[in-house]
Amino acid sequence: MTFEKLLEIADDENVSVKQDKIPHLNGLYINNEIILSDDLVTQAEKKVVLAEELGHHFCNYGNIIDQNDIRNRKEEYRGKKWAYKKLVTFEKIVEAFEIGITCRYCLAEYLGVTEKFLANAVEFYHNKYGIYKEYNDYLICFEPLGVIERSNYATYRKAR
């Protein structure tokens, strides 16, 4: 999903998006407004933060800025999960594999996300599904990250 598509989602939800100074935060969602920090430099950073803040719009209630409260940390994670599912889809992981992308750095670049966000998304999927997830005619492995075509799965299992 592109940054522009995320902006369209925000617009459809009547959520305004602007960039401004916000000390100690990369982004903030409050009262149908998303503020992206001026400190965000790359398009990938802006895209990741916008997706997370949209996740808060769809998934959270109230003020969750105080991350010392465990309930707020859980709400923060709900917003991040929304972003992971939107920006690091199984379809896009397989698509990247099919065009020859095999390293995390290249996958992050292909998806237009930061390497840290990709690592966190993979960890989320690993925690949710285990070592792999079957998707169409593929196995998406989370440890180590990779994709195996189902037709090659028997060969892969023998080699391990």
Domain boundaries, the chain: 1-87, 88-160
Distance CA 24, CA 45 (A): 15
pLDDT in tens, 28-54: 888 899 999 999 999 999 999 999 999
> Is 1.10.10.2910 the CATH number for 1-87?
yes
**Average pLDDT across the chain, whole number:** 87
Reduced to 3 states (helix: H, G, I; strand: E, B; else coil), residue 20 is: strand
E-only strand ranges, the chain: 16-20, 27-30, 33-37, 132-135, 138-142, 145-149
**pLDDT digits over 137-158, tens only?**
999 999 889 999 877 665 544 3
What contacts 158, CB < 8 A, 6 or more positions away? Answer: none
pLDDT at 154 (0 to 100): 56
